[in-house]
Amino acid sequence: MSAAPAPPPARPRPLRRALRWTLPVLLLAAAAGVWQRERLWVWYCAERLERAADDGRGEWSDRLAAVGEPAIPTLLGLLRHDDPGVCLAAKAGLDRVIADWPNDEPRRLAFARTFADAEPRFSTPGRSAALDLLPAVLACGDADVAQRAKGMIATAARSESVGLRIQAVAAALRPDVDALDAIVPLVADPDVEVRRAAVLALGPVRDGAVTVLGDDELLRCLHDGDPEVRRLCEMGLRSRGRTPRDIYLGRRYTAPDPAERQKLLLDLADEEGLDVTVWLDRLTADPDPAVRAGAARVAAERRAELGERLEQMSRSDPDGTVRRIADYYRKKMVAGRRE
């Protein structure tokens, strides 16, 4: 007898087949969920911070800070927001994240570089918060970060925001940045509060600091329309060793009105005990031809050592009358020496 045929193999049940394929997918999804949980939590906290009222943002800032280092990119991203409250909350969160890091901690240097990379995209209130963060950023002691911080201050000094320009003045005073040259234009700022801050910062001589605002530029602040700016200017000039007489003459020398500068010539003609040569040399380059001509006359009368300058004026002064006057007084000076 022939053997009975073997029964066909049993087909796997549909449920078992489905589990065979879906179980690995579910396991992968669960693993991904665990892996993404922190990122999703950071995103959620940031979204709630943006939507919260001012008195509720601190809670979400604290929750982001509690995540630690992984929350830094999100907190820096919040500094692009146009709402000052959001930016302040983000700044507070960043402060808390890095508060306990030693200055030589590698994470602090990495944060400072990330911060510097992100700063060009900050909003105006974000830049304000960023300037408040500069001490923590500069604590890393990196020269490249300090140089980039100087650029941040220069950008803030050109901002349309009055408050940010004033902040730039304060930040520029930090010795680890050395950005005083970035705020020199602010002594002529349209806003009086900015001018006051700039003159107060740049006028006085500070120990070990290089004077980036020249005396002539500071003297022009004596004609500011604000009495407080003028007072701060005088205070700065006195700290530089300028006497009341120097300040009086300097005020006339930098006067916008040519008639006031001509009065300086009268003062110099009668001045005793003062080397008038420096003043007269400057006045021979005055924008007003009448002042230049008067300076040539007083130079001859006072026998100042300006023969070469008068000879130069006689050849190259843009005004023909001034050239003739300079030549006349040059020859008079030469004749006087021969007598």
Contact 195, 189 (CB under 8 A): yes
Q: What is the pTM of this model?
A: 0.81
pLDDT digits (tens, 9 = 90+) for 149-173: 999 999 999 999 999 999 999 999 9
pLDDT digits (tens, 9 = 90+) for 280-299: 999 999 999 999 999 999 99
pLDDT-above-70 percentage for the chain: 87
The DSSP string of 223-271 is: G-SSHHHHHHHHHHHHHTT--HHHHHHHHHHT-SSHHHHHHHHHHHHH-
- Rounded to an integer, what distance in angstroms lies between the CA atom of residue 19 and that of residue 167? 64
Q: How far is CA 76 from CA 118, 164, 171, 175, in A?
A: 7, 18, 20, 25
Tokens (6 digits) for 107: 């994470």
Q: Can you give the length of the chain in residues?
A: 339
Q: State the virtual CA torsion across 189, 191, 192, 197 in degrees, nearest 10.
A: -60
Q: Phi, psi (5° rounding) for residue 235? A: -60, -45
Q: Could you list the pLDDT tens digit for every one of the 339 residues in the chain?
A: 455 555 555 555 555 555 455 545 444 444 445 556 788 899 999 999 999 998 899 999 999 999 999 999 999 999 999 999 999 999 999 999 999 899 998 999 999 999 999 999 999 999 999 999 999 999 999 999 999 999 999 999 999 999 999 999 999 998 888 899 999 999 999 999 999 999 999 999 876 566 899 999 999 999 999 999 999 999 999 999 999 999 999 999 999 999 999 999 999 888 777 788 999 999 999 999 999 999 999 999 888 889 999 999 999 999 999 999 999 999 988 876 655
- Rounded to an integer, what distance in angstroms lies between the CA atom of residue 206 and that of residue 185? 19
- Whole-number average pLDDT of the chain: 88
* Beta carbons within 10 angstroms of residue 141's beta carbon: 13
DSSP H or E stretch at residue 200: helix 192-202
The letter for the amino acid at 264 is L
Q: Output the pLDDT for position 30.
A: 47
DSSP 329: H
